Structure formats: structure tokens, C-alpha cells
Structure 1
Amino acid sequence: MLKFANAKINIGLHVTERRADGFHNLETIFYPVQLYDVVELLPANELSLHIHLASLAVDEQNLCLRAYRLLAADFNLPPVALHLLKHIPMGAGLGGGSADAAVTLLLLNEQFNLGLSTLALEAYAAKLGADCPFFIQNKPMYAEDIGTKLSPIQLDLSAYKIVILKPDLHISTAEAYKNVSPLTPQIDLREAVQLPIQEWKLHIKNDFEIGLFDRYPQIAEIKRRFYEAGALYSSMTGSGSAVFAIFEEVDALKEMEELGQLFWPTAL
């Protein structure tokens, strides 16, 4: 049994405060896009994980293995062989690892008839990472707290072209948070995304950009070049390093390939 694990982009991201537990509260809009990893689950005599097309270490910190062990602690699961085909770039802010973990939970729930509800699956996913619960329902969501408090939002970008460019940079979440200062948002993202997309650049921002653009000017250059190419809106996604752009129409953007790897996902 296999499932496709898609990426997400963040439309706006406000870091609002540092919590007593060391994490940060934020608000953002998660939006799913059709850029996929693949997770396959097969019967096996012992638990194993095989990663394809990526040089990821297979250890107990891997989110797919953690997802299995999380459910195995509450259910009598037999061992399985997990195969992970990576296509979503890592250290990009696209949520690939979180998507893989969420899809592993979904596969296990389906394969072994665990009967877990969406709310129960989201609760398990929240134990794995802040982005993970979003991928259970996998539809546009307004997210609060550390990213685990989700509310559906009406947003449809299927009429537009989405382009993602991932530079040859890996930015850890810890590094991104070192360069951000929590602020009280001046706008309500839920209202701002109802504006025409042409106006988003005047109102919607990613708080991580300020510190990371200074440290990595090539990311700022990607955003600038997207706007030069006619983007209606462009932003770094998550904690970076990938930048996405939304176009009404767009050519091949061959001139931007020197800046990194281009992806052309469509909206889900």
C-alpha cells in the first residue's frame, strides 16, 4: 500500500510570541500543492525504513519511524517495511518530512483498520511536529499556536500558476528562529487572503524573511526576480529556503534556473 505525500506553501507567516516552553506561537495559512514524496508500506518480519533518491540518515529521529512507533505504543502493530521516495526538497520550508509522517499515520490507520478519526490522527500528528496535523486533512488551513491549531479557510488557487524555486541552501528551523523577532501582527491573514492576489504583496508577509534575507541575499534575489518575471505574489515559504510565486501566466523561467531548482506544482 502506498500514498503520495504532498508539499505545502505558507501564505503569510507571523511569529507572534515566544512561549515559556521555548517554542513560538505563530499564525499562517497552509496551502497544499502537488509536489510529492511517496510512502509505501509493506509486510515485513522486522521494522525497517528504506529511503530512495535522498541522502537521509535512517535513524530513530526519522519522522516515518517515529509515526510507526507512536501508533505501535497504543496498538498491536506488526512490523512493516517503509519505503520513502523523496522528491520534496529538504530544508526548504515545504513540509516534506511532516507530510511523510502524516501519510505514514494514514497508511497504518488504513492498513490495520485502527479506526482512528481525523481528530485522533491530528492529535497523534501533533506529537510528531508542528506542521504534521495539517497534512491529515490536507486542505487550506489557518494555523495558530505552534501551527497545530487549525481552522479551515476558503482559498482556491487552482486558476493560477504556482512556481517554487529551491536554492542550494538548507535552513534549519532553529536557525530561522534565531533571526526572527516576535511581533504583534498588524493584519488578519484570514481577511488579507480575501483581497485580490495583486494586493497580497502590500499586506501579507513572512516574518522569517527579514533575518534570513540579510544572511542569505540569494533568497531575496529569487523573490525579486519572480516579481520581475510578472508574479502577482511571491514569498519565502515556511522557514525557507524555498521561494514560491503565483502567476496568472508564466513562461519557462529558464533565466532563473541558475538560482536553484525549479518546481512547477499545481494547487490541490
Structure 2
Amino acid sequence: MRETAYAKINLALHVRRRRDDGYHDLETVFAFVDAGDELTARAAERDSLRVMGEFGSALDNPFGNIVAKALASLPHGPGWAVTLEKTLPVAAGLGGGSADAGAIFRMVEAQFGLPDNWREKAAKLGADVPACVESRACIGRGTGTELEQVSNDLAGSPVLLVNPRVPLATGPVFQGWDGKDRGPLEGDNVREMTLDGRNDLEPSALSLVPQIADVLAALRSTGAWVTRMSGSGATCFALYDSPDQRDGARAAMAPGWWTLAGVLR
């Protein structure tokens, strides 16, 4: 069995309020790139997880990994031997771990089907996991687990992801949010919501990782029709009218930065 854990980006991320439980109510437009980590699995006597790839060393506890937790939460026979090729940077605003868990859910679905309460199981693993299971554009509300379908007129759009290779934990970024509600998502489709949207976590993330400003400035000079930070950072994205524009922009990025060129699913 083989499955891609599609990189998640937030085309817009509006933080509305800080809740009494410490979490935040938000409105976000989830979108997914046609590339990401790669997972393979084969039937085995017991579950096992092997992590490899460029960013595999960043996951120092495979058995505490969200992939292992996802596998343990679902019926899948005696066991699976899973290999995770970690090509997405860790703590990067791309939902990497959530995408990996989502890929496990899809693999189990293909072999055994999913239980009726799979959304609840996914949400317990992380706020982005339910969206990552389906890996298609949607609106997330609440903590991000309340999903709504949306007309996806950006499917197939060329996209470039850029990360300065600086990990950024989600918690401190949310803690640095200034607490101001700047209003809800607006628009009838993904393009309108993206153009009218924003990422309310950018200022907090910039204060923690100033290199994000360099990435955004570099992307804004490439002719993209929108440039924004994804999630809690530090990865930023740019959307283009053509693959040639995207590829030219990728070639212009600073040496040493991580990049991924693809299209939106």
C-alpha cells in the first residue's frame, strides 16, 4: 500500500477569539498541494513504524509519532509495517504530521473502510487531521475541525511553497496573537476567500522567526497573485497563473531555503 500525505496550506486563517479552554476559534480555508510525505505499508504480525527521508531525523520518537497513534486508533488487521518518508519540514505550518495521519486513515479506508466515528477519532489526534483525511479544499471553523464544503475554483493552480528551514512551534505563535478579531471569511468561492483573506498569525510568527519576512518579500517579487504565510509558519506560499511563472520563482529563491513546487488539488 502506498499513499501521499498531501501538504496542507491555509489560504486564509482568521483567528476570531481565544476560548476559555485555551484554544482559539478560527475560520480557515484549507487547501492541499499535490505532493508531500510518502507512506508505504504492508501486512505484518504487529505494527511498526520506520521513519526516513530528509526530515526524518526531526522525529526522534517514532512510537509517539502521530502516524503510530493514527494506526492504533483504527481497525486494520493484525498489524502493519509502515515506512514514512519525511520530505516535508517539521513544525512548518504544512500540517505534516496531520497529513501523515490523514494518509493512514485513507489507507485503512481502502482496505477495511473507516468506522462511523472516524471524524471524532481524527479530531482527537489534531485539529487539522479531519481536513487532512479528505485532503480537499474546505472551510474549517471552531478549532478547525468543523468542516464545510466550498466551491474550489483554484484546483490545478500552480503553487510554490518556501520555508527558511527554521522550525516554528504552533503554541507560541498562537500565544502571541494580539487578540483582535478582524472579521470573518468573505467570498463565495476559494479564490474570493483567498484574495479577501489574511493570516492573523503572521505578525506573531514574524516576531519569533524574522526570516519569514525575507521569504514573503522574495515571493512578492515574483509576480504571484497572492503570497501569504501558511498556518502558524514558517512556510509561505505563492499562487501563480502558470507553471512557468512558478518554476521561475522557485529558481529565484535563496540558496538553502526549502522549496516545493506543485499544484493545488
Relative distance call for 1:115 and 1:22 in structure 2 (3 A) is closer
- Of all paired residues, the percent bearing the same amino acid is 30
Q: Residues 4 and 193 (structure 1 numbering): CA distance in 2 closer, same or farther, change over 3 Å? A: closer
How far off its partner does 1:215 sit? Answer: 3.0
The CA distance in 2 between the partners of 1:236 and 1:146, in whole Å, is 19
Structure 2 partner of 1:25: 25
Counterparts of 1:1-268 in structure 2 under 5 Å?
Answer: 1-53=1-53, 54-55=56-57, 56-71=59-74, 75=75, 77-111=77-111, 113-117=112-116, 120-158=117-155, 160-191=157-188, 193-195=190-192, 200=195, 203-249=196-242, 250=245, 251-253=247-249, 254-258=251-255, 260-268=257-265
Q: 1:59 to 1:196 in 2, by over 3 A?
A: closer
Instruction: Give secondary structure in 2 for the equivalent of 1:230.
Output: coil
Q: Structure 1 residues 187 and 146 mapped into 2: Cα distance closer, same or farther (>3 Å)?
A: closer
SS at match of 1:258: coil
Amino acid across the alignment from 2:136: K
Shift of 1:267: 1.2
Structure 1's unaligned 5+ residue stretches are none
Once the 2 structures are TM-superposed, how far is the Cα of residue 187 of structure 1 from its aligned partner? 4.2
Cα 1:155–1:76, aligned 2, differ >3 Å: closer, same or farther?
A: closer
Letter in 1 for 2:169: S
Task: Calculate the TM-score normalised by the size of structure 2.
Answer: 0.89
Residue 137 and residue 59 in structure 1: after superposition, are their counterparts in 2 closer, same or farther (change >3 A)? Answer: closer
CA shift at 1:257, angstroms? 2.8
Give, in whole Å, the separation in 2 of the partners of 1:2 and 1:28. Answer: 29
Residue identity matched to 2:152: L
| Letter in structure 1 aligned against 2:147 | L
The SS at the match of 1:222 is: helix
- Contact 1:192/1:204, CA 8 A, preserved across alignment: no
Give the TM-score normalised by structure 1: 0.88
Q: Is the 8 A contact 1:165 1:261 kept in 2?
A: yes
Alpha carbons of 1:170 and 1:255: their partners in 2 closer, same or farther (altered >3 Å)?
A: same
Per-residue CA deviations over 1:212-247 (Å, capped at 9, x if unaligned) read 223322211211221111111000000111000011
Unaligned 5+ residue runs, structure 2? Answer: none
Q: Residue deviations 1:2-53, cap 9 Å, x none?
A: 2111111101111111222221111100011112211222122222100111
| Count of aligned pairs between the two proteins | 258
Determine helix, strand or coil for the equivalent of 1:244: strand
Is the 1:29–1:189 Cα contact (8 Å) retained in structure 2? no
2 CA distance for matches of 1:209 and 1:196? Answer: 17
CA change 1:196–1:215 in 2 (3 A) is closer
Give the aligned residue type for 1:68: L
Shift of 1:114: 4.4
Q: Cα distance, 1:166 vs. partner?
A: 1.0
Shift in Å, 1:262: 1.6
